[in-house]
Amino acid sequence: MPLLEARDVHGGYGGMNILNGINMTLEADEVGVIVGPNGAGKSTMLKAIFGLLLVNQGEILLRGEPIHNLPPNKLVQKGMGFVPQENNTFPSMTVQENLEMGAFLKPDSVKPMLKQVYEAFPPLYDKRHQRAGELSGGQRQMVAMGRALMAEPSVLLLDEPTAGLSPLYMNEIFARIKEINAIGVGILMVEQNAKQALAIADKGFVLAAGQNRFTDTGAALLADPDVAKSFLGG
Amino acid sequence: MNEFMFFINNVLIAGSVSGSIYAIGAVGVTLVFSIMRFAHFAHADMMTFGAFMVLALTTAFPAAGASLGMPTAVVMLPIAMALTALLAVGIDKAFYKPLRAHGVKPIVLVIGSLGVTLMLQGVIRLFAGTGGQNLYVDDRKEIFRMVLPLEGVRVPVVITEPQLYLFILTLLSVVALHLFLNRSRLGKAMRAMSDNPELAQASGINTNTIVAVTWVIAGSLAAIAGTLLSLDVTFKPDLSFFLLLPIFAAAIVGGVGHPYGAIAGGFVVGFAETLAVFNWNILLRPYRDSFPDWLELPTNLAFVGTEYKIVVPFFILVAILIWRPTGIFKGKVI
């Protein structure tokens, strides 16, 4: 049974559909990457999975269980983590407090998970008493991912984790994402840096106008001349 | 030195008294704003309601305090706090929650809270009458006079029993609030929701729980402030309503949504008021002989008359909104 499955998902904001029938399957040990031009519905799809917008047709399944239109706090309980692209930290709270909030529903696992997250993101340990709002963009992204990991999710949704980061930080974040995936967390992320993201992807979904255009392994999509011409800038 | 004692009594002590009450009130206003993003105008009448509960309880059990050696009103305060917290949660469920569920603009909630204010005042008048009533049913308001052991000092420092309770309870409330917001899981969740409501929800924090906790804290603090104010003067149905302006001034001076700012803002407004109405001529009196003959100082050198005290918080409010709208602690811009 796949970890996450979307079947013919239609949805949008207030009557206007942005998603016009999207299909996706992600296995538990996979990194899935959603790419596509602006306005293709990439972030919208991620939000639809996390219950942030209305799915009015089709279904989304987590390990076979329908989850579409459940509120976010229920989805967190079911093992889903979400890292928004912007405003993804609590700026006036310390790094450690940010992480603690990630495990709000599991107060007993705060201590062991803090240790794990600090091991995964060593720079955060040194800054643990600093306010998240004072950190650099890359460090804030680590706080945001760390916060989502604190709830011990089985699948992590990342909305453009490398947006606005320097190439150096971008590679660092991609390396961390691979590491998180290696400990058994399924990853589904939206990326603008399509080539670099597809290079680490087990599965790639190329969206256009709210529908699937190409679905294949990351490597196969990178090698496909049609995908390269229309979506990866030649 | 005696003139300086006047200064202590009329500025330091009087300023701390109003400062404490403004601070506790402003903390409630600022917490409600930081979680629900609207100015809660019914806060002052929640203060009066708390004092009214104490009045009802002391009337029902006038002897309760004597056995504990404390004023009955103070003994009844925890019960009144619980009842006011309940009222606050109930008001939210009945009036504000349906509005929030409709996704209305904050201004609609503000207008709604004005309606709640009128309703609360009406209910309190219905049961307590319109006149003033003494909360000290034991009728033994102790007044402590301390003559400081300094040469030539005859004027005592005067402090009353309810003022002492006010200072102690203000200190306890501030420490308790600090520990709650920084150490407890729910307190941190409250700060998280104030910081970034969407992300708090995405972390699994239940919005309704946090809203309820906020009302419990706001209601309990309102009951403390209202009761201690009524003990210091007398209970009147419109007593706290006239504190609305200084309390909002305090919350804005401190930076809206910033609890420590609200405490600081409360004392800034309280001291500004007492400094403005203080007759500075008293402090100059000892040096009168050294003034040149042509200088004739008026007998009253206060900035404003006591009856115009309300202009002070109003002036502070206007000034801070013009020159530093985010307040001294950089709160959320309103």
- The answer on pLDDT for A233 being more than 80 is no
CA-nearest residue to A150 within chain B is B203
A164 falls within a domain? yes
DSSP track, B10-73 = IIIIHHHHHHHHHHHHHHHHHHHHHHH-S--TTHHHHHHHHHHHHHHHHHH-TTTTGGGTS-HH
Cross-chain Cβ contact A84/B201 below 8 Å = no
Sign of the Cα torsion A75, A80, A83, A85 reads negative
pLDDT in tens, A90-102: 999 999 999 999 9
Helix (H, G, I), strand (E, B) or coil at B112: helix
Cross-chain Cβ contact B191/A97 below 8 Å = yes
Helix (H, G, I), strand (E, B) or coil at B299: coil
Mean pLDDT, all residues of chain A: 91
A8 falls within a domain? yes
Question: A175 and A64, same structural domain?
Answer: yes
- The answer on pLDDT for A103 being more than 80 is yes
Cross-chain Cβ contact A88/B199 below 8 Å = yes
Question: A207 and A193, same structural domain?
Answer: yes
Give the C-alpha distances (Å, rounded to integers) separating B201 from A34, A51, A65, A133, B19.
24, 11, 22, 19, 36
A131 falls within a domain? yes
Question: A218 and A160, same structural domain?
Answer: yes
Name every residue whose Cβ is closer than 8 Å to that of residue B142 and which is 6 or more positions away in sequence.
Answer: B160, B161
Closest CB to B191 among A72, A87, A93: A93
How many CA atoms lie within 13 Å of A188's alpha carbon, on the beta-carbon side? 27
User: For chain B, how many residues are written?
Assistant: 334
Name every residue whose Cβ is closer than 8 Å to that of residue A48 and which is 6 or more positions away in sequence.
Answer: A9, A11, A19, A55, A60, A68
pLDDT class for A186, splitting at 50, 70, 90?
A: very high
A203 falls within a domain? yes
Cross-chain Cβ contact B189/A107 below 8 Å = no
- pLDDT in the model for residue B334: 42
- pLDDT in the model for residue B139: 62
In chain A, what's the furthest Cα-to-Cα distance?
51
- pLDDT in the model for residue B243: 92
Among residues A126, A151, A176, the one where a domain terminates is A151
Q: How buried is A109 (Cβ within 10 angstroms: 0-12 exposed, 13-18 middle, 19+ buried)?
A: middle
Cross-chain Cβ contact B192/A87 below 8 Å = no
| Backbone phi, psi, residue A55, to 5° | -95, 115
User: How close does chain A come to B218, measured CA to CA in Å?
Assistant: 22
How many CA atoms lie within 13 Å of A118's alpha carbon, on the beta-carbon side? 15
Among residues A100, A135, A151, the one where a domain terminates is A151
Question: A188 and A157, same structural domain?
Answer: yes
Cross-chain Cβ contact B200/A50 below 8 Å = no
Question: A157 and A48, same structural domain?
Answer: yes
Q: Spell out a b/e string for B138-155, using b for 16 or more CB atoms within 10 Å of the CB, else e.
A: beeeeeeeeeeeeeeeeb
A223 falls within a domain? yes
DSSP track, A23-35 = EEEE-TT-EEEEE
User: Where in the sequence is the domain holding A113, given as residue range(s)?
Assistant: 91-151
Q: Is B57 left (phi over 0), alpha (psi -120 to 50) or beta?
A: alpha
- pLDDT in the model for residue B333: 45
Domains of chain B: 2-323 (1.10.3470)
Helix (H, G, I), strand (E, B) or coil at B102: coil
A86 falls within a domain? no
A84 falls within a domain? no
Closest CA to A167 of A142, A143, A193: A193
Among residues A116, A132, A151, the one where a domain terminates is A151
Question: Other CB atoms closer than 10 Å to residue B172's CB: what's the count?
Answer: 11
DSSP track, B226-247 = HHHHHHHS-B-TTTGGGGHHHH
Question: A18 and A54, same structural domain?
Answer: yes
Question: A199 and A129, same structural domain?
Answer: no
Domain CATH code at residue A213:
3.40.50.300
Question: A180 and A127, same structural domain?
Answer: no
How far apart are the C-alpha atoms of A234 and B93, rounded to whole Å? 58
Distance in angstroms between the alpha carbons of the first and the last residue of chain B: 45
User: How close does chain A come to B39, measured CA to CA in Å?
Assistant: 22
Closest CA to A194 of A222, A159, A224: A222
**Does B192 touch chain A if contact means CB atoms closer than 8 Å?**
yes
Report how many domains make up chain A. Answer: 2
Question: A191 and A128, same structural domain?
Answer: no
- The answer on pLDDT for A187 being more than 90 is yes
The pLDDT averaged over each successive group of 10 residues in chain B (334 residues) is 84 94 96 94 96 92 82 92 98 96 93 95 90 74 81 84 92 96 95 93 91 97 95 87 92 90 95 90 79 76 83 89 83 52
Of A11 and B141, which is predicted with more confidence? A11
How far apart are the C-alpha atoms of A1 and B113, rounded to whole Å? 52
Q: What is the mean pLDDT of residues A21-40?
A: 92
Question: A184 and A143, same structural domain?
Answer: no
A16 falls within a domain? yes
Of B238 and A187, which is predicted with more confidence? A187
Question: A227 and A158, same structural domain?
Answer: yes
Question: A73 and A164, same structural domain?
Answer: yes
